[in-house]
Amino acid sequence: MMALGQAARAGAEALRTATAEQRSAAIRAMAGELRAHAGEVLAANARDLASATRLPDRLMLDEPRLAAIADAVETIAGLPDPVGVEIARWERPNGLDIARVRTPIGVIGMIYEARPNVTADAAAICVRSGNAVILRPGSDCLGSARAIHAALARGLERAGLPASVVQIVPTADRAAVGALLSGLGGNLDLVIPRGGRSLVERVQAEARVPVLGHLEGICHTYVHAAADPAMAAAIVRNAKLRRTSICGSTETLLIDRAALPMLPVIAEALVGCELRGDGEAAAMVPMRLATEQDWRTEHLAPILNIRTVSDWREAASHIARYGTGHTEAIVTEERETAEAFLGQVDSAIVLWNASTQFADGGEFGFGAEIGIATGKLHARGPVGPEQLTSFKYVVRGDGQVRP
Amino acid sequence: MMALGQAARAGAEALRTATAEQRSAAIRAMAGELRAHAGEVLAANARDLASATRLPDRLMLDEPRLAAIADAVETIAGLPDPVGVEIARWERPNGLDIARVRTPIGVIGMIYEARPNVTADAAAICVRSGNAVILRPGSDCLGSARAIHAALARGLERAGLPASVVQIVPTADRAAVGALLSGLGGNLDLVIPRGGRSLVERVQAEARVPVLGHLEGICHTYVHAAADPAMAAAIVRNAKLRRTSICGSTETLLIDRAALPMLPVIAEALVGCELRGDGEAAAMVPMRLATEQDWRTEHLAPILNIRTVSDWREAASHIARYGTGHTEAIVTEERETAEAFLGQVDSAIVLWNASTQFADGGEFGFGAEIGIATGKLHARGPVGPEQLTSFKYVVRGDGQVRP
């Protein structure tokens, strides 16, 4: 593992000093090799599936899915290269010209579960942002991930970059995670865990390096008294049911007492969704009573909690207590109430009159994302190539000394 | 300690939802109470000095120094409030209007050594950025820090904010640091260590919360063959000798072999400074030979290491090997070489034809700084009020649902 770190550091240095066009060419070559070696990847995936104990759908690859993965990599090759971009520039009264310029972070450790596509996505986003990456896939998808990684490494070498830019932990041994979390002797700058709560919590508890955490999304949609009923129904339906398995799906509907007469319209839009509400909600629409545990649960399933509140402040209090700081929405026609809610609620993403399922780097225009950060340090919300950079100050003078 | 964390969280919430003007008024009141209670602070400082075992100059307060501390706090009251400021705003093709808006981080733990002024600076910068702070001063300045803190707390209360916005660890016990580093049960969002290497390294090794590290500054000034000799002498003199005790002072002069004839001119400008060089430098100007340890030492004293290099690449290699990623300068009249050096060297601050002593938030126009971060995550370089914020995305729609 320590050798992996040293190789990654050398890879990061080669990538940092490469040109934007070299990084783009490398990502295109990675996509090309993925397509050229689809057979090996699908065969490895078939072996993973045969021995898998859980999650077969996420794990399963077929030709269209693999083509989509290669296409996503190709798309990242076309994204603007963030390295060296000036974020800000100003002149001081003494004539010093100060620029804040994006730089890569260095070496990133990516620890994830059984989604083989993350292998390619994470690698491409890291190369785009000038960072070397060490991948640690879940054991269930290890064979698929290794086959994908082999293709990516060939692409890097074909483009003249060292294969050590993208490495994969060679063992399924859990001790490898411990080694990553210890920082590989200074050769790991950031760890990104992507998976269930227990994985993320373990990483946050044990890591000796900075962590870009991606906690579960217990997201809320709040329907205010002055909401348009049809809009409320459409947004709640989309926020809950468009895809129930993504972190931006709404788990709890908060509804003003004065808006309860809209509940039947909303419930009608939620065909196929189990409702669990408080007494007042259940009095409007027959449903099972919600438990304390429901408010704390990321269902990731067609189950919606419903809680009645007095006003936006009570909605915000519920969110502060039960939310995970991910994404929350308000539906209302009253601008003032909307702005109060948007200002007060301290989540990574707050929306007015839009679905929580927009919590996504692609939907934000970032082109791609490696996850959605729920912490407040470094990056928050969707993490795309720009969010995987640091910066430095470049100061140009003509002989200034400090008085 | 856990109660301190809970109180800080409540203080942070009050501060976050206060207005910018309330935060400004609170900082002004803090400065006013500091001035009003100067007698108590100086008396406490005299007791600290009487029992101090080291660092008496940094530790010592007198009326002018205390007035300067209060003035610095007053200045921070006049800085722009970063909370709620839009950093970016764009519209998506579907009409969603996305804004990235600054938010406070939450609760910050500040662990520092025997500089009583940090107590007031850190408190004012945290209030300016909407963050509650828990201060943990070094035991040598504990009495002074407590007296300063008592004044600050009175100021907060006079301005209608809870005193728990700025708290001080009530004990000199080292276990208190351990409690801070454990994160106070989720009520601490960031730790900032400011002090010697052993303090910062302990914090980085033990912290269970994000750390904004401020490592030592082993800064370099590189004199290129095409430097103007007079400018080189003036910059090296200022970079080393203006103040030798600050982290931005130059510890090592790297000089091109072709520039060695300038060395006598430079040495003449360094009256009172001990020179330690390699053989080639010592052949030009008599000096003691530098040891391997010298290249790795932050002298913080009138001692300058001198190393001869072949070109800017060798200078950059020396910096990569021995530097701490803080601040480095190149002196040259050749734009192309300067830009190559500025692009290649991966330190928080890189300067062309200017003194490394400009590494300072005030000199950058930030108004104040809580330190200079040498890590690459979240903030890098001078850390002022803006760098102590996070952000959230505020998304305004008119009923958009995700396809």
pLDDT tens, position by position, B25-50: 999 999 999 999 999 999 999 999 99
Please report whether residue B369 resides in a domain: no
Within this chain, do residues B65 and B211 fall inside the same structural domain, yes or no? yes
- Select from A358, A361, A373 the least CA-distant residue to A239: A358
Q: Which residue of A has its CA nearest to B378?
A: A378
Asked whether the beta carbons of residue A393 and residue B16 sit closer than 8 angstroms, the reply is no
CATH at A121:
3.40.605.10
Asked whether the beta carbons of residue B358 and residue A402 sit closer than 8 angstroms, the reply is yes
Task: Report d(CA B269, CA B267) in Å as an integer.
Answer: 5
- Please name the residue that has the structure tokens 């990731």: A300
CA distances from A188 to A183, A185, B373 (A): 5, 8, 18
Within this chain, do residues B253 and B392 fall inside the same structural domain, yes or no? no
Asked whether the beta carbons of residue B402 and residue A242 sit closer than 8 angstroms, the reply is yes
Asked which of A156-160, A211-215, B138-142, B324-328 is least confident by mean pLDDT, the reply is A211-215
Asked whether the beta carbons of residue B392 and residue A381 sit closer than 8 angstroms, the reply is yes
Asked whether the beta carbons of A109 and A192 are under 8 A apart, the reply is yes
Tens digit of each residue's pLDDT (9 = 90 or more) over B16-31: 999 999 999 999 999 9
Within this chain, do residues B246 and B332 fall inside the same structural domain, yes or no? yes
Residue A361: is its pLDDT beyond 80? Answer: yes
Examine the predicted complex and report whether its ipTM is higher than 0.90. yes
Please report whether residue A324 resides in a domain: yes
Average pLDDT over residues A88-109: 97
Please report whether residue A162 resides in a domain: yes
Determine whether B40 is exposed, middle or buried from the number of CB atoms within 10 Å of its CB (0-12, 13-18, 19+).
Answer: middle
Proportion of chain A above pLDDT 70, given as a percent: 99
Task: Report d(CA A27, CA A373) in Å as an integer.
Answer: 24
Please report whether residue A402 resides in a domain: no
Q: Which residue of B has its CA nearest to A201?
A: B208
Within this chain, do residues A39 and A163 fall inside the same structural domain, yes or no? yes
Tens digit of each residue's pLDDT (9 = 90 or more) over B197-238: 888 888 988 888 899 987 789 999 999 999 999 999 999 999
Residue type, B118: V
Task: Report d(CA B233, CA B355) in Å as an integer.
Answer: 11
Residue to substitute from B102, B332, B353, B392, interface A, most A β-carbons within 10 A? B392
Our CA-based measurement puts residue A55 at a distance from the nearest CA of chain B, in whole angstroms, of: 25
Please report whether residue A403 resides in a domain: no
- Across the interface, of A17, A346, A353, the residue whose CB is closest to B397 is A353
Within this chain, do residues A126 and A151 fall inside the same structural domain, yes or no? yes
Tens digit of each residue's pLDDT (9 = 90 or more) over A312-321: 999 999 999 9
Within this chain, do residues A204 and A288 fall inside the same structural domain, yes or no? no
- Select from B346, B307, B314, B310 the least CA-distant residue to B328: B346
Average pLDDT over residues B365-393: 92
Asked whether the beta carbons of residue A96 and residue B353 sit closer than 8 angstroms, the reply is no
Q: How confident is the model at residue B56 (pLDDT cuts 50, 70, 90)?
A: low
- Select from A118, A136, A295 the least CA-distant residue to A207: A136
Asked whether the beta carbons of A302 and A251 are under 8 A apart, the reply is no
> How remote is the C-alpha of B122 from its chain's centroid?
10
Average pLDDT over residues A354-370: 93
Residue A56: is its pLDDT beyond 70? Answer: no
Looking at residue B169, what is its pLDDT? 94
Residue B172: is its pLDDT beyond 90? Answer: no
Residue B297: is its pLDDT beyond 80? Answer: yes
Count of A-B CB contacts under 8 Å:
183
Please report whether residue B274 resides in a domain: yes
Please report whether residue A384 resides in a domain: yes
Within this chain, do residues B259 and B186 fall inside the same structural domain, yes or no? no
Task: Report d(CA B79, CA B266) in Å as an integer.
Answer: 39
A353 to chain B: which residues are within 8 Å by CB?
396-400
Asked whether the beta carbons of B5 and B176 are under 8 A apart, the reply is no
Asked whether the beta carbons of residue B210 and residue A377 sit closer than 8 angstroms, the reply is yes
Task: Report d(CA B164, CA A244) in Å as an integer.
Answer: 41
Task: Report d(CA A175, CA A286) in Å as an integer.
Answer: 50
Mean pLDDT across chain A, nearest whole number? 94
Name the CA dihedral angle for A292, A294, A296, A301, rounded to a multiple of 10 degrees: 180
Looking at residue B166, what is its pLDDT? 98
Residue B281: is its pLDDT beyond 80? Answer: yes
Our CA-based measurement puts residue B110 at a distance from the nearest CA of chain A, in whole angstroms, of: 16
Our CA-based measurement puts residue A51 at a distance from the nearest CA of chain B, in whole angstroms, of: 35
> How remote is the C-alpha of B393 from its chain's centroid?
28
Task: Report d(CA B330, CA B333) in Å as an integer.
Answer: 10
SS (H, E, C) chain A: CHHHHHHHHHHHHHHHCCCHHHHHHHHHHHHHHHHHCHHHHHHHHHHHHHHCCCCHHHHCCCHHHHHHHHHHHHHHHCCCCCCCCEEEEEECCCCCEEEEEEEECCEEEEEECCCHHHHHHHHHHHHHCCCEEEEECCHHHHHHHHHHHHHHHHHHHHCCCCHHHEEECCCCCCHHHHHHHHCHHHCCCEEEEECCHHHHHHHHHHCCCCECCCCCCCEEEEECCCCCHHHHHHHHHHHHHCCCCCCCCEEEEEEEHHHHHHHHHHHHHCCCCEEEECHHHHHHCCCEECCHHHHCCCCCCCEEEEEEECCHHHHHHHHHHHCCCCEEEEECCCHHHHHHHHHHCCCCEEEEEECHHHCCHHHHCCCCCCEEECCCCCCCEEECCHHHEEEEEEEEEEEECCC
Asked whether the beta carbons of residue A380 and residue B394 sit closer than 8 angstroms, the reply is no
Our CA-based measurement puts residue B30 at a distance from the nearest CA of chain A, in whole angstroms, of: 26
Tens digit of each residue's pLDDT (9 = 90 or more) over B122-140: 999 999 999 999 999 988 8
Within this chain, do residues B191 and B280 fall inside the same structural domain, yes or no? no
Proportion of chain B above pLDDT 70, given as a percent: 99
Residues in contact with B159: Cβ distance below 8 Å, sequence separation at least 6, in sequence order: B22, B25, B26, B28, B29
Within this chain, do residues B124 and B166 fall inside the same structural domain, yes or no? yes
Asked whether the beta carbons of residue B397 and residue A92 sit closer than 8 angstroms, the reply is no
Determine whether A296 is exposed, middle or buried from the number of CB atoms within 10 Å of its CB (0-12, 13-18, 19+).
Answer: middle
CA distances from B91 to A59, A86, A291, A365, B86 (A): 35, 22, 40, 9, 14
Asked whether the beta carbons of residue B376 and residue A344 sit closer than 8 angstroms, the reply is no
- Across the interface, of B377, B394, B398, the residue whose CB is closest to A190 is B377
Determine whether B337 is exposed, middle or buried from the number of CB atoms within 10 Å of its CB (0-12, 13-18, 19+).
Answer: buried
Q: How confident is the model at residue A213 (pLDDT cuts 50, 70, 90)?
A: confident
Our CA-based measurement puts residue A246 at a distance from the nearest CA of chain B, in whole angstroms, of: 13
Residue A261: is its pLDDT beyond 70? Answer: yes
Q: Which residue of B has its CA nearest to A95?
A: B354
Residue to substitute from B190, B344, B357, B376, interface A, most A β-carbons within 10 A? B376
Domain of residue A115, residue span: 2-215+375-396
Task: Report d(CA B211, CA B205) in Å as an integer.
Answer: 10
Question: In chain A, how many domains are there?
Answer: 2
B228 to chain A: which residues are within 8 Å by CB?
399
Please report whether residue B370 resides in a domain: no
CB atoms closer than 10 angstroms to residue A336:
9
Q: How confident is the model at residue B55 (pLDDT cuts 50, 70, 90)?
A: low
Looking at residue B74, what is its pLDDT? 96
Within this chain, do residues B146 and B24 fall inside the same structural domain, yes or no? yes
Task: Report d(CA A87, CA B399) in Å as an integer.
Answer: 33
Within this chain, do residues B230 and B149 fall inside the same structural domain, yes or no? no
CATH at A270:
3.40.309.10
Looking at residue B188, what is its pLDDT? 96
Within this chain, do residues A343 and A384 fall inside the same structural domain, yes or no? no
Max intra-chain CA distance, chain B = 77
Q: How confident is the model at residue A170 (pLDDT cuts 50, 70, 90)?
A: confident
